Structure 1
Amino acid sequence: MATLNYKHLRYFWMVARSGSIAKAAEQLHLTPQSISGQLTEFADTLGVELFRRVGRRLELTETGNRVLRHAEDIFSAGDALLDVVRDQSATQATTFRLGVSDSVSKAVACRLVAPALKLA
């Protein structure tokens, strides 16, 4: 069983987002030939066509669009992980739930809850 090469997935994602191998290569500081070779290897590993040539540009196939959606999710999760790691000093918000009977006036409930809302 083949394993997913995340570097190949990133190259695919960059080409799909930028619209061309040349633009992706520029953003990744690689040669277009390197990107092209990696895309070919990625498609061969998956056993599917990810792009089709339309004139001088690349267009995603249906499978390529599905792979792109998953790549977006994967790299969004990776970015969220980096944000969490970089910002370890930030505290996560604590959920505060309060139930108040209808027989208690709203003014009384607000005065009772106010000190808790001021806590850090």
Structure 2
Amino acid sequence: MGQYRIAVVVGSLRRESFNRKLATAIARLGPPEFAFTQVEIGDLPLYNQDDDTNQAPAVKRLKAEISASSGVLFVTAEYNRSIPGVLKNALDNASRPYGQSAWAGKPAGILGASVG
């Protein structure tokens, strides 16, 4: 059996994020047929539809990393009963322009950790 490339999107920018620690533990303890790679989302520009025809290098990199993966694992916090803004921004950037979503057809999972 081949190796499955899993893009791990951590929905927190905090250095000591519990979710970043969880993502690191999953990569270390996961089955050997899965290669987990954390995808950087903190360097993305705020999504602007005017930029769809000339996407920033960070957006192109994100889309390439997601497209090259077999699946996506979101490891994220909950902020104010919703997803963190940095994650929403990554979802928006990688899903545009219309019809060119890097997320399309990707199996995905969601995990989260919290102190409370």
TM-score normalised to structure 2 length: 0.28
Which structure has greater helix proportion? Answer: 1
Higher RCO by CA contacts (8 Å cutoff, separation 6 or greater): 2
Which structure has greater strand proportion? Answer: 2
